[in-house]
Amino acid sequence: MATIIVQRPKLAWHERWFISTLVKGLKITLGHALKTFREIVGGKEKVTMEYPEQKWDANLPSYYRGAPALVTDEQERERCVSCQLCEFICPPKAIRITPGEIPSDDPWAKVEKRPKEFDIDMTRCIYCGMCEEVCPEQAIYLRKDYAITGESRAELMHNKKKLYEIGGKRVGLVNKWNELK
Protein backbone atom coordinates (compact mmCIF):
# COMPACT_ATOMS: atom_id res chain seq x y z
CA MET A 1 0.00 0.00 0.00
CA ALA A 2 1.32 3.33 -0.97
CA THR A 3 1.93 5.72 1.85
CA ILE A 4 0.92 9.27 1.12
CA ILE A 5 2.64 11.83 3.23
CA VAL A 6 0.32 14.77 3.64
CA GLN A 7 2.11 18.07 3.49
CA ARG A 8 0.64 20.18 6.25
CA PRO A 9 0.84 23.88 5.52
CA LYS A 10 3.46 25.71 7.53
CA LEU A 11 1.61 28.10 9.79
CA ALA A 12 2.99 31.34 11.08
CA TRP A 13 2.65 31.97 14.81
CA HIS A 14 -0.27 34.35 14.38
CA GLU A 15 -2.07 31.72 12.33
CA ARG A 16 -1.40 29.05 14.90
CA TRP A 17 -2.86 31.18 17.66
CA PHE A 18 -6.02 31.90 15.67
CA ILE A 19 -5.28 35.63 15.44
CA SER A 20 -5.03 36.30 11.71
CA THR A 21 -7.15 33.26 10.88
CA LEU A 22 -9.95 34.54 13.11
CA VAL A 23 -9.91 37.91 11.39
CA LYS A 24 -9.90 36.21 8.00
CA GLY A 25 -12.86 34.00 8.93
CA LEU A 26 -14.85 36.89 10.36
CA LYS A 27 -14.19 38.87 7.19
CA ILE A 28 -15.62 36.07 5.05
CA THR A 29 -18.75 35.53 7.13
CA LEU A 30 -19.39 39.23 7.59
CA GLY A 31 -18.87 39.81 3.88
CA HIS A 32 -21.47 37.19 3.00
CA ALA A 33 -23.82 38.55 5.66
CA LEU A 34 -23.59 42.12 4.36
CA LYS A 35 -23.99 41.02 0.75
CA THR A 36 -27.09 38.96 1.46
CA PHE A 37 -28.46 41.66 3.76
CA ARG A 38 -28.21 44.21 0.98
CA GLU A 39 -29.89 41.82 -1.43
CA ILE A 40 -32.77 41.19 0.94
CA VAL A 41 -33.23 44.88 1.75
CA GLY A 42 -33.02 45.72 -1.94
CA GLY A 43 -35.74 43.15 -2.60
CA LYS A 44 -33.70 41.12 -5.06
CA GLU A 45 -32.67 37.95 -3.33
CA LYS A 46 -30.57 35.84 -5.60
CA VAL A 47 -29.82 33.12 -3.15
CA THR A 48 -32.95 31.33 -2.01
CA MET A 49 -36.06 30.54 -4.02
CA GLU A 50 -39.17 31.45 -2.01
CA TYR A 51 -40.74 28.08 -2.62
CA PRO A 52 -44.52 28.18 -2.78
CA GLU A 53 -44.51 31.45 -4.70
CA GLN A 54 -41.56 30.69 -6.93
CA LYS A 55 -41.16 27.25 -8.41
CA TRP A 56 -38.49 25.54 -10.34
CA ASP A 57 -40.91 23.46 -12.43
CA ALA A 58 -39.77 24.82 -15.76
CA ASN A 59 -36.22 23.71 -15.06
CA LEU A 60 -36.95 20.16 -13.91
CA PRO A 61 -34.58 17.84 -15.77
CA SER A 62 -36.01 15.22 -18.12
CA TYR A 63 -34.82 12.46 -15.83
CA TYR A 64 -36.63 13.90 -12.80
CA ARG A 65 -38.27 11.20 -10.72
CA GLY A 66 -41.59 12.42 -9.34
CA ALA A 67 -44.72 10.52 -8.48
CA PRO A 68 -45.19 7.16 -10.26
CA ALA A 69 -48.26 6.94 -12.49
CA LEU A 70 -49.93 4.59 -14.99
CA VAL A 71 -50.36 5.54 -18.64
CA THR A 72 -52.70 4.49 -21.44
CA ASP A 73 -51.67 4.10 -25.04
CA GLU A 74 -53.05 6.04 -27.97
CA GLN A 75 -56.08 3.76 -28.25
CA GLU A 76 -56.99 4.41 -24.59
CA ARG A 77 -55.96 0.91 -23.69
CA GLU A 78 -54.51 0.37 -20.28
CA ARG A 79 -50.92 -0.60 -20.84
CA CYS A 80 -50.64 -2.44 -17.56
CA VAL A 81 -51.20 -6.18 -17.90
CA SER A 82 -50.92 -6.76 -14.13
CA CYS A 83 -47.83 -8.93 -14.31
CA GLN A 84 -47.05 -7.61 -10.79
CA LEU A 85 -43.32 -7.25 -11.46
CA CYS A 86 -43.41 -3.70 -10.09
CA GLU A 87 -45.20 -4.94 -6.99
CA PHE A 88 -42.49 -7.51 -6.39
CA ILE A 89 -39.55 -5.22 -7.01
CA CYS A 90 -40.85 -2.22 -5.09
CA PRO A 91 -38.33 -1.82 -2.23
CA PRO A 92 -40.68 -0.23 0.31
CA LYS A 93 -43.60 -2.42 -0.83
CA ALA A 94 -45.71 0.59 -1.77
CA ILE A 95 -47.50 -1.03 -4.73
CA ARG A 96 -50.43 -3.38 -4.43
CA ILE A 97 -52.07 -4.87 -7.52
CA THR A 98 -55.20 -6.97 -7.73
CA PRO A 99 -55.11 -8.60 -11.19
CA GLY A 100 -58.31 -8.95 -13.11
CA GLU A 101 -59.21 -10.87 -16.25
CA ILE A 102 -60.35 -9.02 -19.36
CA PRO A 103 -63.69 -10.54 -20.43
CA SER A 104 -63.67 -12.30 -23.80
CA ASP A 105 -66.12 -9.85 -25.37
CA ASP A 106 -63.79 -6.93 -24.73
CA PRO A 107 -61.94 -5.59 -27.82
CA TRP A 108 -58.68 -6.09 -25.92
CA ALA A 109 -59.50 -9.64 -24.87
CA LYS A 110 -56.27 -10.95 -26.36
CA VAL A 111 -54.29 -9.05 -23.67
CA GLU A 112 -55.93 -11.37 -21.12
CA LYS A 113 -55.35 -9.31 -17.95
CA ARG A 114 -55.49 -5.82 -16.60
CA PRO A 115 -55.37 -4.58 -13.01
CA LYS A 116 -58.69 -4.63 -11.21
CA GLU A 117 -57.12 -2.47 -8.54
CA PHE A 118 -53.76 -0.73 -8.58
CA ASP A 119 -52.77 1.13 -5.41
CA ILE A 120 -49.58 3.02 -4.73
CA ASP A 121 -49.13 4.10 -1.13
CA MET A 122 -47.47 7.51 -1.47
CA THR A 123 -46.57 7.54 2.21
CA ARG A 124 -44.26 4.63 1.44
CA CYS A 125 -43.04 5.39 -2.08
CA ILE A 126 -39.39 6.40 -2.19
CA TYR A 127 -39.41 7.58 -5.81
CA CYS A 128 -36.66 5.14 -6.76
CA GLY A 129 -38.07 4.40 -10.22
CA MET A 130 -37.57 0.66 -10.05
CA CYS A 131 -41.20 0.04 -11.05
CA GLU A 132 -40.62 2.05 -14.19
CA GLU A 133 -37.40 0.21 -14.90
CA VAL A 134 -38.84 -3.25 -14.42
CA CYS A 135 -42.13 -2.77 -16.29
CA PRO A 136 -42.07 -4.88 -19.49
CA GLU A 137 -45.11 -3.08 -20.93
CA GLN A 138 -43.93 0.48 -20.30
CA ALA A 139 -47.10 1.12 -18.39
CA ILE A 140 -45.77 2.86 -15.29
CA TYR A 141 -43.73 6.04 -15.39
CA LEU A 142 -42.38 8.45 -12.85
CA ARG A 143 -43.87 11.84 -13.68
CA LYS A 144 -42.78 15.27 -12.59
CA ASP A 145 -45.31 15.77 -9.79
CA TYR A 146 -43.39 16.21 -6.55
CA ALA A 147 -45.73 18.05 -4.19
CA ILE A 148 -47.78 15.01 -3.12
CA THR A 149 -49.65 16.16 -0.06
CA GLY A 150 -52.84 15.20 1.66
CA GLU A 151 -54.68 15.72 4.90
CA SER A 152 -55.14 12.03 5.63
CA ARG A 153 -53.38 8.77 4.91
CA ALA A 154 -56.29 7.69 2.72
CA GLU A 155 -55.69 10.69 0.47
CA LEU A 156 -52.13 9.59 -0.11
CA MET A 157 -53.24 6.16 -1.28
CA HIS A 158 -53.23 6.65 -5.05
CA ASN A 159 -55.75 4.28 -6.58
CA LYS A 160 -56.06 3.26 -10.22
CA LYS A 161 -58.24 6.22 -11.22
CA LYS A 162 -55.86 8.73 -9.66
CA LEU A 163 -52.83 7.04 -11.21
CA TYR A 164 -54.28 7.25 -14.70
CA GLU A 165 -55.26 10.83 -14.02
CA ILE A 166 -51.65 11.74 -13.23
CA GLY A 167 -50.20 9.56 -15.97
CA GLY A 168 -52.47 10.50 -18.82
CA LYS A 169 -52.08 9.20 -22.32
CA ARG A 170 -48.84 8.33 -23.99
CA VAL A 171 -49.01 8.66 -27.75
CA GLY A 172 -46.46 8.04 -30.42
CA LEU A 173 -43.58 5.71 -30.19
CA VAL A 174 -43.04 5.09 -26.52
CA ASN A 175 -39.82 3.33 -25.95
CA LYS A 176 -38.74 3.21 -22.41
CA TRP A 177 -35.45 4.97 -22.82
CA ASN A 178 -36.27 7.46 -25.55
CA GLU A 179 -36.63 11.16 -25.08
CA LEU A 180 -40.40 11.12 -24.94
CA LYS A 181 -40.40 10.19 -21.32
**Distance (Å, whole) CA 110 – CA 179:** 30
Annotated binding-site residue? 86: yes
CA distances from 34 to 24, 27, 45, 59 (A): 15, 10, 13, 30
CB of 16 to another protein, least distance (A): 11
CA distances from 39 to 25, 29, 51, 53 (A): 21, 15, 18, 18
CB of 22 to another protein, least distance (A): 7
Annotated binding-site residue? 128: yes
Cβ-based nearer residue to another protein, 22 or 171: 22
CB of 8 to another protein, least distance (A): 16
> Binding residues for another protein, per CB under 8 A?
22, 25-26, 28-30, 32-33, 35-37, 40, 45, 47-48, 50
CB 133 within 8 A of CB 63: no
Q: Which residues are annotated as a binding site for [4Fe-4S] cluster?
A: 80, 83, 86, 90, 125, 128, 131, 135
